[in-house]
Amino acid sequence: MRLRILAESQDGASYDDLRTAAVLAEELGFDGFFTTDHYLPLHGRAALIPPLDAWTTLAGLARETSTIRLGTLVTPATFRLPGPLGVIVAQVNAMSGGRAEIGLGAGWYEAEHKAFGLPFPDVVTRFDRLEEQLEILTGYWRAEAGQSLDFHGRHFQLEACPAGVQAAAPTPRVILGGHGKPRGLRLAARWADEFNIEFPRPGVIERVVQRVHAACDARQRDPETLTISAAHLACVGDTREDLAERAQRAGLDLSLDLGALIGTVDEVAKKLADIEAAGVSCFYLQVPDLRDTEHLRTLSQLNASPR
């Protein structure tokens, strides 16, 4: 199983914090370093420092690293118009030598949209806009050099957009996710390279994997061509004492894991083995404190653990 680090950059991290963590994650052998795409802290937390822009950050990390995959989990489709977003992601992809990936979602955090003056239509409209964005973005990135892209949808219109001029090979990978609802699965089966199961509770993964495969079958797509991943909070210690100290510093209640990867290295390796057996081939480890570099070193032991 490929392991990736997921940073909650909206919770007070600076660019230097992210750069330090990304460079270390690459040195430690992690497959990817991903960041959320938010401008406000979640769950009503107070903002500690001015927010970072995810794609500006990833552009910097593209030049600070050389092998690790880079991307968002996830970028709200409400944040950026599809034409400029296509250019931005293609540029980061080129700057990184083809290592960029984008998790794309419909958007859900209404307070964030109000704070920054972003339109927040009803959920059906948001998904309609997401679907059009997926068609535009994939068409833009997969076009050959010199081709132009025209698109006439209900929400977006492009005329003679110069596509294919920024993209590096391979083109950016597209990640969609959720908990297996029908429309999200249909979009993933059509447009995505990866389907991410978000913060699954025990017993959920097997059901969602079955639904993903069924959605691929309905589209006559080989399910093996759609990577299935999952993401959850990870807090790991070499010993139970080490784990308790780390959880206390991060303000975590160890009794409320709800499927999170919490435990010693051996305990979490066993959980990952079960998750892999359920059909997941890539896992995003959401770290509770990005500045705890020793935690990254402890988590890196999972890369070598037998599963």
Cα gap 189→223, rounded to integer Å: 8
Q: What is the pLDDT along the chain (307 residues), one digit of tens a residue?
A: 999 999 988 777 899 999 999 999 999 999 999 999 999 988 766 666 788 999 999 999 999 999 999 999 999 999 999 999 999 999 999 999 999 999 999 999 999 999 999 999 999 999 999 999 999 999 999 988 888 999 999 999 999 999 877 656 789 999 999 989 999 999 999 999 999 999 998 889 999 999 999 999 999 999 999 999 999 999 999 999 999 999 888 888 877 667 899 999 999 999 999 999 999 999 999 999 999 999 999 999 998 765 5
3-state helix, strand, coil in the chain (%, to 5): 45, 20, 35
Nearest to 57 by CA among 100, 97, 98, 87: 100
State residue 146's pLDDT score.
83
Looking at residue 16, its pLDDT comes to: 96
- Residue 45 CB: number of other CB atoms within 10 A? 11
Angstrom distance (rounded) from CA 51 to CA 14: 8
pLDDT in the model for residue 49: 72
In this structure, what token pair is assigned to residue 174? 């597209």
Q: What are phi and psi of 73, to 5 degrees?
A: -145, 85
pLDDT of residue 44: 63
pLDDT of residue 307: 52
Per the CB < 8 A criterion, the answer to whether 16 and 33 are in contact is no
Tens digit of pLDDT for each residue in 246-284? 988 888 887 766 789 999 999 999 999 999 999 999 999
Query: Residue 218: what are its φ and ψ, rounded to 5°?
Result: -65, -30
3-state secondary structure of 227: strand
For 89-133, the pLDDT digits (tens) are 999 999 999 999 999 999 999 999 999 999 999 999 999 999 999
- Which pair of tokens denotes residue 169? 């090979």
C-alpha distances in angstroms, 190 versus 45, 219, 286? Answer: 37, 7, 27
CATH of the domain at 72: 3.20.20.30
246 and 237 Cβ atoms separated by less than 8 Å: yes
The pLDDT of residue 257 is: 66
pLDDT of residue 306: 56
The residue segments making up the domain with residue 235 are 2-304
Q: Quick one: pLDDT at residue 167?
A: 59
Structure tokens at 135: 């068609």
Residue 11: predicted pLDDT: 77
pLDDT at residue 144, as a whole number: 85
Buried b (16+ CB within 10 A) or exposed e, 129-156: bbbbbbbbbbbbbebeeeeebebeeeee
Residue showing tokens 């880079």? 70
Given this model, what pLDDT does residue 145 score? Answer: 81
DSSP for 82-132 reads HHHHHHHHHHHHHHTTS-EEEEEE----HHHHHHTT-----HHHHHHHHHH
Cα separation, 212 vs 190, whole angstroms: 11
What is the number of domains present in the chain? 1
**Contact of 23 with 64, CB cutoff 8 Å:** yes
pLDDT number for residue 168: 60
